[in-house]
Amino acid sequence: MFNYKNLKKVLFLFQPETAHNIAELGLRALPKCRIITNYLTKRNFVSDPKLTQEVFNVKFINPVGLAAGFDKNCTMVKSMPALGFGYTEIGTMTPRPQDGNPKPRMFRYPKNNSVQNAMGFNNEGAHAVLKNLEKVYPFVLPIGVNIGKNKTTPEEYALSDYKTLIKKFEKTSDYIAINISSPNTPNLRDLQNEEFITALFEMAKELTNKPILLKIAPDMQAQAAINLCKTAVNAGAAGIIATNTTIDYDLLPGCKDFGGLSGEVLTQKSYELFKEIANELFDKTVLISVGGISSAQEAYKRIKAGASLVQIYTGMIFEGPSAVKNINEGILELMEKDGYSHISEAIGADLKNN
């Protein structure tokens, strides 16, 4: 009945965005059936003191979170424990409602366990999302909020959009992630410059004590990414999320020439940039790794490279909730092999040993 392989066969008969909408309907309804919710939570949610940690003074029962982009309007939060996640990141949401880019705008590549999306921050707008969030926050799991500017907002007014969003969500989130790295909003990545980042985080620091993180693209040159992350941390950022999707279409021959690639084709590229950033910023800020993580081995690799937390999205599309469970259980096994009694000993172990 709860075999994801069977469910996936049905979902994959539909266009990816349609399948996502069907999944959303199911996950919105799931909490209303307590017996099934409890069964799935017991089956998928890994709770072990060895994995529990405090980050931003917030308790994370396990380190595997849902990346932004799946739950854009905060409609599925109550189902996250049933899927096994230790935390979730909603969004990306914008100040005003936004339809996103023309359809079709999401494409599957099952042979590569990868997805390409050109969604364009489609969401119901900050006001509607906040109403949904207020119904569930505070939640049993940490909730991050991923924010971005509206497509129609000129670059010179981008700060105003982020100011609006920070003020709106700072009381109903455990952290806020600044998204200037999506490839699907025209010129958004142009904001990945030190002048804008300094102004943004200095402004954020005056608005709230809530942890504000920067999410960066995997397509930056390593030194430029390091410099940008350093600038953000010096200006008050509480952490770095690396990385978003990639526009390196050479990674997947035959893919579309628009939108961002995620999944296993991104794994190595994301890891390499994360490692470079961690070499410079580990112990100076919180690091979250995302991009092509679908196995315990890859998640543990990122943890040993300096990640306190990891996120998945595409891996769940192809593997289902078992992906989260398998990653958490696998991390515990790998920690035991390495002789670690707590995840804190594994975080940055490769850097500590150098």
Q: How confident is the model at residue 82 (pLDDT cuts 50, 70, 90)?
A: very high
Residue 1 reports pLDDT greater than 50: no
Angle between the 222-234 and 194-207 helix axes, to the nearest 10 degrees? 30
The tokens for 353 are 């040993």
Nearest-Å Rg of the Cα atoms of the chain is: 19
Mean pLDDT of all residues in 195-209: 96
Helices (H), 135-193: 158-169
Instruction: Record the pTM.
Output: 0.97
Asked whether the beta carbons of 212 and 203 are under 8 A apart, the reply is no
- Beta-bridged to residue 310, according to DSSP, are 64, 289
Would you call 182 a catalytic residue per the annotation?
yes
Residue 65 reports pLDDT greater than 70: yes
Residue 183 sits at the vertex; the CA angle it makes with 234 and 316, to the nearest 5 degrees, is: 95
pLDDT at 352: 84
Angle between the 16-29 and 4-11 helix axes, to the nearest 10 degrees? 130
> How far, in Å, CA of 251 to CA of 347, rounded?
29
In the chain the first and final C-alpha atoms are separated, in Å, by 48
Report helix, strand or coil for 10: helix
pLDDT at 150: 97
- Beta-bridged to residue 235, according to DSSP, are none
Asked whether the beta carbons of 98 and 151 are under 8 A apart, the reply is yes
Report helix, strand or coil for 339: coil
Residue 246 reports pLDDT greater than 80: yes
Residue 52 reports pLDDT greater than 90: yes
> pLDDT digit string (tens) for 104-122?
999 999 999 999 999 999 9
Which architecture does CATH list for 4-352? Alpha-Beta Barrel (3.20)
Pick the catalytic residue: 79, 173, 182, 262? 182
pLDDT at 2: 61
Q: How confident is the model at residue 185 (pLDDT cuts 50, 70, 90)?
A: very high
Asked whether the beta carbons of 97 and 158 are under 8 A apart, the reply is no
> pLDDT digit string (tens) for 124-160?
999 999 999 999 999 999 999 999 999 999 999 999 9
> How far, in Å, CA of 324 to CA of 335, rounded?
17
